[in-house]
Chain A
């Protein structure tokens, strides 16, 4: 942990929280779908809980991190900014895919379940791809384009 900057630790944390939230949500929906059809599952409450949980846990863990490593907490240099920018660009791919999926599914009048879930999963994938890119850039360097 000592060879990681505060920003890199934040990226790891963000990725783990996203994985936890999505994993928890998917398991909850699948467990509920054992008795009924998938589209009939009450997914709204677990989805809102997953989103709310990930926001709250991210804030709390970042406060805890700042308490554990107070000297590093406000340090963000040009390399961190550069890696963050490249990572966000990479993650945007799934935001576009999510938007397109939602649009096409709505046009096809598919059940709301699929529209909401495709958007949520693409948000999560965007976050994970962005985090993966950032971690790679921190460990191996920013890939040359």
Chain B
């Protein structure tokens, strides 16, 4: 309920300036027919928002653990489990067979090499000397009852120099001093 007289009296006591300003008007205006338009616009806004399909909240996805469990349950169904077991068995058999084949081949090679006599082996090494590094040759020579005999007659001078260079590089200082 408005009681302007009561307010006027109160303002006279409190602030004559504010009473004077109030009588002048507050200075706020509104566009013509504003309230008719406001009603229309508010109703349009209500209808517009009602027609907009409300987005249904997306439920949070399952955690990685749930997903893993789900996948495991799927894979452990009898038909899938049987298929997986068959594949695993085939892979195991395949690996085992390949390993055995490799062993057989290695064994066969060893047996065949054992049949070769020392001369044949020496001749092979002489013919393929460039395929071996010096360290292997030295090791081979030290293990032989008959040290490797290099046939220098069949080598070119450059090859002989190269052989000695490699040999010298492999010797330590003390050993070289012993030779000197």
Q: Do A and B come from one complex?
A: no
Contact surface of B with A, Cβ cutoff 8 Å? none
Contact surface of A with B, Cβ cutoff 8 Å? none
